[in-house]
Amino acid sequence: MTTEKHNPFKMAQQQLDEAAKILGLDAGTHAALREPVRELQVSLPVRMDDGQVRVFKGFRVQYNDARGPTKGGIRFHPDETIDTVRALAAWMTWKTAVVDVPLGGGKGGIICNPKEMSPGELERLSRQYIRQVGRMLGIEKDCPAPDVYTTPQIMAWMMDEFYWQKGYNEPGVITGKPLPVGGSKGRNDATARGGVYCVREAAKVLNIDPKGASFAIQGFGNAGQFAATLMNEILGAKKLIAVSDSRGGVMNRDGIDAEEMVRYKLETGKVEGFPGTTPITNEELLTLDVDILFPSALENSITSKNVGDVKAKIIAELANGPTTPEADEILHKRGAYVIPDFLCNAGGVTVSYFEMVQNSYNFYWELPLVHKRLDEKMTAAFHAVNNMRNSHKVHNRLAAYLVSVQRVAEAMKLRGWV
């Protein structure tokens, strides 16, 4: 990440303001959309393995539930703040609206460093979070899911703790669960898969042959790793040039074998040192001359400071908030095609919604049906945004906001909230 820091919530509000102006939203609706409807901050005492009690801070924000129960992941991160969670909750609201699933947006987080915690400590922290935040949750209220540094195992512990509180199974309260406890097939790679479906559609719009396209991935976690392998599996794109994680990046102009790279990362916990590659910094990765760039780490990667050097034709934002508003404008002016975060990474929440549906009628779909329905949702969302871009002559993120804000505002109006 760069040193230029934006408050992500201010950034989310700024983006909304721009959309509200173009849509001509009335002042009341606009003001209601600028703030979360509900939020909770909790302190979480947890007994650590050394016998001492440590108190963690946690958050849950329900940003807007006009279109349905709020939905959004829980992030475990040392730099978590309430404003990050608010911003992510706002983006979830626009994300569920852009893919047109009947849900609102929420988000949760705990300030902690999971890399320094044992499995037992993580389990006790996860259960404590549900003891505190569980009162806000439920399949008709608010349904969490995984995010940065939270896993299907953590979701299973959380779902189980909710069961002990309620006295009955409500698996749909949390998605991203392992398959044996009510997970959906196809959830593990859904975020990246949805992003790759969008890249496929963008390549059609731009007349780029994806088979020969080169690409680089910043952030080699869940989203980034699957993007690497799915680019080949779905689009036949083999020219993965560079990848990076929090420790640094590596590149090979002749291409990196995505499957081998994933295996190496899983075995060693890093991308550095992968045979046949040379080291590069995260900054360098962002400015490589590639056709497609996948920012797949955290916020504020592409800023006014480095955007002048970003050369990719398609920027597929698997991460949330990787591009600052100033950088966005500059990318648009130079003709880059940005697939904005809440469209590009909406595959995760879409399959999470499919998971809730399957949990509700207790009957599960086979993988091809999950992929087909995900493709339909992502393709429709992509073209709704692309059409809005063309009709309003605005950049893609603004176009995506116009689609989503209009849908959420309409629901609020119909319910008589504004």
Return the active site residues: 107
Q: What is the DSSP string of 266-278?
A: HHHS-STT-TT-E
Helix axes 367-392, 190-206, angle to 10 degrees: 40
* CB closer to ligand NAD, 91 vs 162: 91
Tokens of 334: 């130079």
Least distance (Å) between residue 15 CB and ligand NAD: 16
- Answer yes or no whether residue 343 interacts with ligand NAD by CB under 6 A: no
Q: Based on CB atoms, which residue is closest to ligand NAD, 92 or 402?
A: 92
Q: Which is nearer to ligand NAD, 128 or 323 (CB)?
A: 323
Backbone φ, ψ for residue 371 (5° rounding): -65, -40
Question: Is residue 96 part of the contact set for ligand NAD (CB under 6 A)?
Answer: no
Q: Which of 64, 93, 244, 324 binds ligand NAD (CB under 6 A)?
A: 244
Tell me which of 29, 70, 222, 287 binds ligand NAD, using CB under 6 A: 222
Element of type H or E holding 309 = none
Q: Smallest distance from the beta carbon of 112 to ligand NAD, in angstroms?
A: 13
When asked if residue 197 is in the footprint of ligand NAD (CB under 6 A), the reply is: no
Helices (H), strands (E): how many in the chain? 14, 12
Task: Verify binding: residue 194, ligand NAD, rule CB under 6 A.
Answer: no
Phi and psi torsions of 404, nearest 5°: -75, -45
2 contacts ligand NAD (rule: CB under 6 A): no
Residues 241 and 247: beta-carbon distance below 8 Å: no
In terms of Cα–Cα distance, which of 412, 377, 393 is closest to 186?
Answer: 377
- Residues 145, 108: Cα–Cα separation, whole Å: 9
SS3 239: strand
Footprint (CB under 6 A) of ligand NAD, residues 296-315? 296-298
Tell me which of 218, 229, 359, 396 binds ligand NAD, using CB under 6 A.
Answer: 218
**CA–CA separation, 186 and 190 (whole Å):** 6
Which residue's CB is nearer to ligand NAD, number 198 or number 409? Answer: 198
Q: Which range touches ligand NAD (CB under 6 A), out of 64-72, 146-154, 178-186, 371-379?
A: 146-154
Binding of ligand NAD by 282 (CB under 6 A): yes
73, 5, 65, 63: which is closest to 34 by C-alpha?
63
Cβ pair 217, 255 in contact under 8 A = no
Which amino acid is present at 339? I
| Residue 153 interacting with ligand NAD (CB under 6 A) | no
Contact 240, 304 (CB under 8 A): no
Among 46, 173, 319, 327, indicate the residue that binds ligand NAD (CB under 6 A): 319
Stretch that binds ligand NAD, among 79-87, 143-151, 377-385, 397-405 (CB under 6 A): 143-151
Rule CB under 6 A: which residues touch ligand NAD? 1, 147-149, 191, 218-224, 244-246, 282, 296-298, 318-320, 345, 348
